Amino acid sequence: MLLLVLDGVGGYRTTRRHSELAMAHTPNLDELAATSALGLHDPVGRGITPGSGAGHLGLFGYDPLRYRVGRGTFTAAGLGVELAEGDVVARANICTLTEDGVIADRRAGRMSTEEARTVCDLVNEQSFGDVDVELVVEMGHRALLRVRGRGLHPDVADTDPQRVDVPPIAPAPLTEAGVRTAETIRTVLERVRKVLAHRKTGNFLLLRGFDTRRELPDFPGRYRVRAAALATYPMYQGIARLLGFETRYVPDLAAAVRTLPELVRDGVDFVYVHVETPDLAGEDGDLEAKKAAIEAVDALVPAIRESGVEVLAVTGDHATPTQLSAHSWHPVPVLLNGGTAPADGIAEFNEVSCRQGSLGRFPAYELMPQILAAAGRLAKFDGQRHGM
């Protein structure tokens, strides 16, 4: 089984234009669609715009409203940063503030990983009094902030307002339990601001997804599969690692596809491949880039089909429409091919064609049982109290 996740691939049709999937030239995906079952999934729930972590939990069969894991925890897992009981972590964007303290660029011009490392080093050289603070570079402007100390609690609201021309939000508690920690984070950020003040770009941090150490039910045990994850971004390796996947870095989808036959030979039952590019283009609001990202995936579909994969699911973890330059609440096209999956005979893969598909519209956490079923991996249910 292969679950190919095209990050942020979903879009939506407006009166002005079709979605990116509909506009991209995708002969191979369309041909695949013709022999697949199509549908639309809601990553978290209707109307809910998911973060990538929540979107992925859904795809892996974990209801994101039940399994609440913050972005910080996923990022830590991706970076291989071990969390101790009581550590508080957040995903940090290195951003650029103007002299007046308003956000000029939430991503500091998508700075290089190299430059981000300089920023992290500057922060890590400081002493923060009662707490230990570590800023670990992830990729580009993305980093992890880990705060270790006594009595910390992750109930702190994001400081990232998710837009520019406003100042960052002051750290605020989400509950009574987070009051002291919000105060601590405020002190930490004040110091960070001073330390980075001499820099024109990349001179502050926007924090989101505060969380602490979490344990999730093991994916291979739950579904009785040997599972491997191929991803470029640490965050996605992190999600997979938290769930007990064997994880492997690949530089891009082409490399992932080249790895597939080997995994199939090695007896891996379930492979998750993450492709980040459609989301990056979506967040930039770059229609041509998003189409190109989709078309690049399309070009690799024949190789995927020849890799020995038996059941193939292609979908996204959420929509990132270029109209909005952000994640959105729209449902995401999904295609299930092979095994006992029906062939709907609809030779197009996009938001409109998927409406007509036999899978209908369903919560993302119901995808896994359908992949497993198509692969003949689920026993007959006859009132058992101890099944999946």
| x-marked contacts with its own copies along 99-138 as a string, rule CB under 8 A | ----------------------------------------
Sequence-separated (6 or more) residues with CB below 8 Å from residue 377: 1, 223, 224, 225, 269
Site for its own copies in 228-247 (CB under 8 A): none
Handedness of CA 329, 140, 84, 196 (dihedral sign): negative
Among 76, 92, 96, smallest CA distance to 206 is for: 92
Region near its own copies per CB under 8 A, out of 180-188, 193-201, 248-256, 324-332: 324-332
Closest separation in Å from C-beta 174 to its own copies: 4
How far, rounded to the nearest angstrom, does the alpha carbon of residue 329 sit from its chain's CA centroid?
15
Which residue from 27, 80, 221, 345 is in contact with its own copies, where contact means CB under 8 A? 345
Transcribe 175-228 into DSSP letters: SGGGHHHHHHHHHHHHHHHHHHTT-SSS-EEEEEEEE-------HHHHHT--EE
Q: What is the DSSP letter of 278?
A: H
Among 151, 154, 195, 189, smallest CA distance to 170 is for: 189
Does 225 help bind its own copies (rule: CB under 8 A)? Answer: no
Which residue from 68, 110, 194, 224 is in contact with its own copies, where contact means CB under 8 A? 68
Which residue from 25, 27, 48, 190 is in contact with its own copies, where contact means CB under 8 A? 48
CA 97 – CA 194 distance, rounded (Å): 12
Is the Cβ–Cβ distance between 61 and 216 less than 8 Å? Answer: no
| x-marked contacts with its own copies along 355-374 as a string, rule CB under 8 A | xxxx-xxx---x-xxxxxxx
Site for its own copies in 146-175 (CB under 8 A): 155, 162, 174-175
Binding site for its own copies (CB under 8 A): 12-15, 34-35, 40, 44-51, 53-54, 64, 67-71, 155, 162, 174-175, 208-209, 211, 321, 323-324, 327-331, 340, 342-345, 351-352, 355-358, 360-362, 366, 368-374, 378-386
